[in-house]
Amino acid sequence: MKCPQCSNTEIQSTDKFCKVCGLKFGEPLTCIGCDKHPDEIEEYIEAAELNDMTPVEYVLEEEGTYNGFEPERFYCTECYIKAGMPLNGGQE
Ligand SMILES: [Zn+2]
Ligand SMILES: [Zn+2]
């Protein structure tokens, strides 16, 4: 298996992240717009710190767009605004 982000080809199927670039696997939790993981998005890193959570936990519990458009994905605020602030697919 090869890392999609760097040239590391030594990835085992049991690895949770790339030992070279740190890319995480098996977590589809990324922004629909920018494809970033909560760990890479400043607003979630800061909000998570304030709430004593991890960025992932914060998105799972607090991000209203999570699961609203695509399973296990969300819109970060920037992409949500860029997308024209769509409403969740009738799930209100
Ligand atoms: Zn890598
Ligand atoms: Zn985004």
How many structural domains is the chain composed of? 2
Q: Is residue 87 one of the residues assigned to a domain?
A: no
Kindly state whether residue 49 falls inside one of the protein's structural domains: yes
In a domain, 58, yes or no: yes
| Count of CB atoms situated within 10 Å of the CB of 78 | 15
Domain-located, residue 22: yes
Which ligand sits closest to the CA of 4? 1
The closest alpha carbon to 65, from 79, 52, 54, 53, belongs to 79
Report if residue 91 sits inside a domain.
Answer: no
Residue 40 Cα to ligand 2 midpoint, Å, equals 10
pLDDT of residue 33: 95
Distance 20 CA to ligand 2 centre (A): 24
Q: Are residues 83 and 60 in contact, defined by beta-carbon separation less than 8 angstroms?
A: no
The ligand placed nearest to the CA atom of residue 30 is: 2
Domain membership flag for residue 5: yes
pLDDT (tens place) for every residue of the chain, 92 residues total: 888 789 899 988 788 788 898 877 765 789 999 999 999 999 999 999 999 999 999 999 999 999 999 888 999 999 999 999 988 654 44
Tokens of 19: 């030992």
pLDDT of residue 11: 86
Q: Ligand 2 centroid to 39 CA: how many Å? A: 12
Cα(11) to centroid(ligand 1), Å: 9
Query: What does pTM read for this prediction?
Result: 0.65
Q: Does any domain span residue 63?
A: yes
Residue ranges making up the domain that contains 70: 38-82
Domain identity same for 19 and 52: no
